[in-house]
Structure 1
Amino acid sequence: MMTGREPSIRLQGVNHWFGSGETRRQVLFDISISIERGSLTVMRGPSGSGKTTLLTLMGALRKVQEGSIRLLGQELHGASEAAQEMLRRRFGFIFQAHNLHESLTARQNTLMGLEVHGPGGDAAKQNAAAVHILTSLGLGERIDYLPEKLSGGQKQRVAIARALVSNPEIVFADEPTAALDKEAGLNVVRLLKTLAETRGTSTVMVTHDTRIIDLADMIITIEDGRLA
């Protein structure tokens, strides 16, 4: 784990709610967390405890209502949408729904992960990066398959490849291994660990997978919107 620099993620006194007036319901209460660069952090807790809400706040996918969230040294509270969009380009996102383009091959779907950085770039290098990441995830023989020819677990691995191909500085993942068997799930974690060690990538992952919990550098438990 890398130290000596500002943490990749720092939350202080974060509160969040849905609705307003009589229908207002607070879902997060006074959350303060510091996550070091190059670490694998697991968030766990019962369904409905606020894990996914917290993950989307950390990923600048939801507006900070109260408190401070600093990502890679930049404050989110009060930041413009343009500033948040530029920051999101430095992240990788993995969700339970893989959301692949059905008309594109595994390779082409993976290359979509590079388009957030704008047009251009060395096409040969980008293609090599896509092939490398897909092969690392056990999809070397299915690089040019359309999603309809892939199993659910294989589609999820393509979605993971799409999130990682750009070498993001932070990866936010919501149950990324839920559809994967034991070996495929461990391959994903090994890849994330390699990115952490070689590039300082930080990963924040919501999961109930005990195999991953055992490999985490830090575990955050959320219960009823509070740090347990």
Structure 2
Amino acid sequence: MDPGPPVVIRGLNHWFGAGEARKQALYDIDLTIARGSLTAVVGPSGSGKTTVLTLVGCLREVQEGSVRLLGHELRHAKPNLLMLLRRRLGFIFQAHNLHDSLTAIENVRMGLQVHGAMDPRREIEAAGHALALLGLADRMDYLPANLSGGQKQRVAIARALVGNPDLILADEPTAALDRESGSNVVDILMRLGKARGTTTIMVTHDGRILDRADRIVTLEEGRIVADTAPFAG
């Protein structure tokens, strides 16, 4: 049975603030994301890119319109459903958000522990594999203070990938990475898309990603103004 597209957005509007300070951030967004694809979302600062990402990620309440995530409507969704859906997502933010007192492998293991009890040996094996994929096999026992900015970001990416999420939501994930590391991250995300059907939505200004993304969606002032590959089906 075809589970359908992982993300379907219709007539999405969003505001920030209240009263006279209330300002509209998104205008009538319609977007359907194909399973297994890597979609790059681009646009100038303040165009609404991260707002879309946080709404899809159940980090903000849907105010008007419809957002269907993995077959479930998010508007008026109950907190327990939102919690279950978040567990099926992988988040990569500009700030790596690592715990300073935990080693690289311990930080990555946290990406598994949201799913409940697992054999510690399996956790360590999975976390080590994710770090090795990102070129950090020799940094597993390092604390964040002893890692470079790019290495910290790669640990954060490993943490997002380790639980084999259905959907990865990434906000400028390669901004702190050199060319080789950034290319490696894109390779991994594209392989996951082909092998497992993992879908990636990535806010980025990185031209290296734009050259390889399946689709580029451009936002300006809260509106979609260009879409290189509209979903058909």
Q: Report the TM-score when normalising by structure 1.
A: 0.97
2:9 aligned counterpart, secondary structure = strand
Q: CA deviation at 1:122?
A: 2.0
Match of 2:191 in 1: 194
1:219 maps to what in 2?
216
CA shift, 1:21, in A, is 2.1
Partner of 1:173: 170
Residue 118 (structure 2) aligned to one of 118, 121, 145: 121
What is the rounded CA distance, in whole Å, between the counterparts of 2:119 and 2:188 in structure 1? Answer: 24
Q: State which of 81, 84, 109 in structure 2 corresponds to 1:83.
A: 81
Equivalent pairs, count = 225
Q: What's the secondary structure of 1:189's corresponding residue?
A: helix
SS in 2 for 1:63: coil
Q: Secondary structure at the match of 1:111?
A: helix
User: What is the deviation of 1:116?
Assistant: 1.0
Distance 1:70 1:219 in 2: 20
* Match of residue 64 from structure 1: 62
Does 2:158 correspond to 1:161?
Answer: yes
Unaligned ranges ≥5, structure 2: 226-233
Paired amino acid for 1:200: G
Q: Deviations over 1:63-104 (max 9, x none)?
A: 000000001100001101111111000000000111111111
The answer as to whether partners of 2:130 and 2:162 remain within 8 angstroms in 1 is: yes
Structure 2 CA distance for aligned equivalents of residues 157 and 5 of structure 1:
31
Q: Which residue of 2 aligns with 1:34?
A: 32
Answer with 150-159 or 18-27: which moved more: 18-27
C-alpha distance in structure 1 between counterparts of 2:30 and 2:3, whole Å: 18
2:113 and 2:120 mapped to 1: Cα distance? 12
C-alpha distance in structure 2 between counterparts of 1:70 and 1:108, whole Å: 33
Quote the Cα distance in structure 2 between the aligned partners of 1:126 and 1:190.
24
CA distance in 2, matches of 1:82, 1:103: 30
What amino acid does structure 1 have at the position aligned with 2:123? Answer: Q
Q: Which runs of 4+ in 1 moved over 4 A?
A: none
Corresponding residue of 1:51: 49
Q: Which amino acid aligns with 1:192?
A: L
1 CA distance for matches of 2:102 and 2:18? 42
In the TM superposition, what is the alpha-carbon distance from 1:22 to its structure 2 partner?
1.5
Superposed displacement of residue 4, structure 1: 5.1
1:5, distance to aligned residue in structure 2 (A): 4.0
Report the equivalent of 1:142: 139
Deviation for aligned residue 1:186? 0.6
Percent identity between the two aligned chains: 61
Partner amino acid for 1:111?
R
Residues in 2 aligned to 1:104 and 1:149: alpha-carbon distance in whole angstroms: 11
TM-score in terms of structure 2 length: 0.94
1:14 partner amino acid: L
| RMSD, matched Cα | 1.1
In structure 2, the partner of 1:105 is: 103
- Equivalence for 1:205: 202
Structure 2 counterpart of 1:7, one-letter code? P
Letter in 2 for 1:11: I
- Distance (whole Å) between structure 2 residues aligned to residue 101 and residue 212 of structure 1: 28
Q: Which residue of 1 aligns with 2:231?
A: none
Post-superposition offset of 1:194: 1.2
Asked if the contact 2:47–2:222 (Cα under 8 Å) also holds between the matched residues in 1, the reply is yes
